[in-house]
Amino acid sequence: MLEQENDASDSDMLGISYLNALEYCPRRFYYECVLHEFIENAHTIEGTMNHARSDSGYTTMDDGVTTLRRVWIGSSRLRLSGFADVVEIEHGQFIPVEYKKGKMGIWLNDHVQLCAQALCLEEMTHLSIPVGAIFYVGSARREEVVFSEALRAHTEEVITQAFTLIEQHQMPLPLEGKRAIRSCLPQLHPKCRDCSLEPLCMPREVLFLGNRPEILSQKKLHE
């Protein structure tokens, strides 16, 4: 049913879920994928718990729909590998389904991750996969995602960017928030507020020092 054609070694493959991190924040991607730094917080723990059922590995059939859970997928062409939370098969059509803990919104990072899963499934099944779905636990709603040519092209661009960042070994700058009025530090970018890596990343401090070259010059003199 699913052919595993993998000419690349495991060390050459990129985990599909890292694409979500990269689209959300390149610096987070670098911490997790290159430096292997990961910090748990309430949001990450809740996300892990919400994946418990989809990670069971069970296969079920209901009303003509076969549901595969925790399905390994990969692509030699894209050098990607990972697990799909769920793959539904209905009338011969494969539909990747991703589970997310948050509420439904405009989340391009989730769409990129799901589209990458579809590209892997297409390579494995030799079938066209036009749509997938994301179930947002916080909203108890399921969003259909159409894999348009634009989304496919953007997803492949993100994959290329990922390997470029890995090869360059240069950490991206933090996302920049609005300028604070009564503080020397900039405000946190909205994406940073619930990020588990914020205490390690220190985005405001890094951006502040980056805008104060005289401080960096003094630091280098004392090294």
pLDDT, mean of residues 7-17: 78
Tell me the torsion sign for CA atoms 136, 86, 45, 35.
negative
> CA distances (Å), 73 to each of 11, 16, 37, 47, 86, in order?
16, 9, 24, 21, 11
The residue among 119, 27, 130, 136 whose CA lies nearest residue 82 is: 119
Is the pLDDT confidence value at 24 over 70?
A: yes
Which pLDDT band, with edges at 50, 70 and 90, does 210 fall under? Answer: confident
pLDDT tens per residue across span 147-203: 999 999 999 999 999 999 999 999 999 998 776 566 667 788 999 988 999 999 999
Higher local confidence (pLDDT), 3 or 64: 64
CATH number belonging to domain 10-168: 3.90.320.10
Higher local confidence (pLDDT), 90 or 48: 90
Is the pLDDT confidence value at 220 over 90?
A: no
pTM passes above 0.85: no
Q: Running DSSP on this structure, what letter comes out for residue 10?
A: G
Angle in degrees, CA 118, 123, 126, rounded to 5: 105
| pLDDT score of 94 | 98
- Cite the residue boundaries of each domain of the chain with CATH code 3.90.320.10: 10-168
Structure tokens at 14: 């990129």
| pLDDT score of 187 | 84
pLDDT tens per residue across span 44-76: 555 555 555 555 566 777 788 999 999 999 999
* Whether 87 contacts 118, CB under 8 Å: no
* Whether 112 contacts 42, CB under 8 Å: no
| pLDDT score of 177 | 78
pLDDT, mean of residues 9-27: 90
For the chain, the average pLDDT equals 85
| pLDDT score of 3 | 59
